[in-house]
């Protein structure tokens, strides 16, 4: 849906001038000081510059301003399909969700991906205002499609065939928890309902808020959510990959030395996203996997779980805590931390135009290669 449908006031439009100036200034400052980068900042000057722009843009522009200038996920998918001469294949999944196929849908394996972004559409556009300052309001979606294409290509080189099925879910507050979880489950239900689809060939993956949904789907598969139709699984899922999972909806990050100079997000994103997703709902084991009792993880129907995080990300303490707890209840959990990497580096670096392999991206692909049938 076209984003020209987002209406801005004259004041918001005029505000682009000082906003752009401040973003340019942040970029210029990063370029200068970046020459003396330390281990706490990005590996390359280009990324250091890109992250600074990103941080400043998400902090300075309002979500509706960002929405005004950026295309929607569905548009990006169409553009991706056109550019790569493939036929766009989108599937209505019910509850307002859409799934997009990337790769050969008859591939032996399918990776269902939940991204950390929200679907932008006309009817829901106002809701983006609830994501002020967060990476969640920014549809950096071409990075996702590039990431999917790299996954498919690298597995193919290793002799495995995989397709990606990406979900776009609905924004709060037109939909709040548990709608997004319902949508995430319906994507999996759709994949499992394909003829001869063995659950061991189905992989779940997600980054940031999408990592929260991966945890929610596993939780639902093991402990059916009272408002969601149970999943009928005949075997375990092949695996679940959670990149920088956001599984603790506290409105503030834990007491720690927070340095965001090597990351792309700031603390400002926690409160808006948590309250946006929850609406009036209370937090539970599905929304906050980090707070679930250890026995909650025990019967997750999945062969392997991979958690990744970046050494520089402000969410890392939360990711580490989750991994530690998860391991106590569920044997096959692995945590991988990418050195000098930011929040969701495997995707954001691609979005910024740096296609150098990230440690996390490489790990996710080798993990998938090993587990895929």
Ligand X SMILES: *[C@@H]1O[C@H](CO)[C@@H](O)[C@H](O)[C@H]1NC(C)=O
In the complex, the residues that contact ligand X under the rule CB under 6 A are: 104, 106, 173, 176, 279-280, 284-285, 292-293, 295-296
Q: Which is nearer to ligand X, 92 or 104 (CB)?
A: 104
Nearest-CB residue for ligand X: 279
Q: Which is nearer to ligand X, 14 or 86 (CB)?
A: 86
Number of residues in the chain: 373
Q: Which is nearer to ligand X, 59 or 111 (CB)?
A: 111
**CA 145/CA 79 separation, integer angstroms:** 10
The nearest distance, CB 317 to ligand X, in angstroms, is: 22
The nearest distance, CB 28 to ligand X, in angstroms, is: 40
**CA 358/CA 356 separation, integer angstroms:** 6
Q: Which is nearer to ligand X, 102 or 342 (CB)?
A: 102
Beta bridge partners of 73: none
**CA 156/CA 171 separation, integer angstroms:** 34
Q: Which is nearer to ligand X, 279 or 317 (CB)?
A: 279
Provide the token pair at 272: 């808006």
**CA 178/CA 330 separation, integer angstroms:** 25
The nearest distance, CB 86 to ligand X, in angstroms, is: 10
Q: Which is nearer to ligand X, 298 or 357 (CB)?
A: 298
**CA 373/CA 369 separation, integer angstroms:** 8
Q: Which is nearer to ligand X, 105 or 362 (CB)?
A: 105
The nearest distance, CB 24 to ligand X, in angstroms, is: 37
The nearest distance, CB 51 to ligand X, in angstroms, is: 32
The nearest distance, CB 190 to ligand X, in angstroms, is: 15
Q: Which of 223, 200, 211, 213 is nearest to 298 (CA)?
A: 223
The nearest distance, CB 335 to ligand X, in angstroms, is: 22
**CA 275/CA 222 separation, integer angstroms:** 26
Q: Which is nearer to ligand X, 245 or 346 (CB)?
A: 245
Helix axes 345-352, 141-157, angle to 10 degrees: 110
Residue with tokens 């937090």: 283
The nearest distance, CB 242 to ligand X, in angstroms, is: 19
């Amino acid at each position: 849906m076209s984003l020209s449908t987002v209406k801005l006031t004259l004041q918001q439009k005029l505000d682009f001038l000082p906003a752009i100036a401040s973003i340019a200034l942040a970029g210029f400052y990063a370029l200068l000081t970046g020459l003396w980068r330390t281990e706490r900042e990005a590996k390359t000057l280009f990324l250091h510059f890109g992250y600074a722009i990103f941080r400043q843009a998400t902090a300075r522009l309002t979500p509706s301003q960002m929405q005004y200038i950026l295309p929607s996920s569905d548009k990006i998918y169409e553009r991706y399909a056109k550019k790569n001469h493939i036929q766009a294949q989108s599937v209505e999944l019910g509850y307002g969700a859409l799934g997009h196929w990337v790769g050969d849908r008859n591939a032996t394996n399918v990776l269902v991906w939940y991204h950390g972004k929200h679907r932008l559409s006309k009817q829901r556009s106002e809701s983006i205002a609830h994501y002020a300052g967060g990476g969640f309001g920014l549809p950096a979606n071409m990075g996702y499609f590039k990431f999917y294409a790299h996954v498919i290509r690298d597995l193919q080189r290793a002799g495995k065939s995989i397709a990606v099925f990406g979900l776009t879910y609905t924004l709060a507050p037109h939909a709040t928890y548990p709608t997004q979880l319902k949508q995430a489950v319906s994507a999996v239900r759709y994949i499992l309902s394909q003829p001869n689809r063995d659950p061991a060939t189905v992989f779940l993956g997600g980054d940031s808020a999408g990592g929260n949904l991966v945890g929610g789907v596993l939780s639902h598969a093991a402990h059916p959510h009272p408002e969601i139709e149970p999943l009928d699984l005949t075997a375990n899922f092949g695996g679940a990959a959670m990149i920088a999972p956001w599984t603790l909806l506290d409105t503030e990050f834990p007491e720690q030395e927070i340095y965001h100079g090597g990351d792309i997000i700031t603390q400002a994103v926690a409160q808006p996203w948590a309250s946006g997703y929850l609406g009036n709902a209370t937090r539970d084991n599905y929304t906050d996997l980090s707070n679930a009792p250890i026995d909650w993880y025990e019967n997750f129907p999945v062969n392997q779980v991979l958690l990744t995080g970046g050494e520089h990300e402000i969410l890392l303490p939360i990711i580490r805590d989750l991994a530690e707890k998860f391991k106590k209840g569920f044997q096959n959990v692995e945590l991988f931390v990418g050195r000098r990497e930011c929040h969701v580096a495997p995707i954001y670096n691609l979005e910024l135009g740096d296609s150098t392999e990230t440690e996390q991206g490489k790990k996710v692909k080798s993990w998938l290669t090993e587990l895929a049938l």
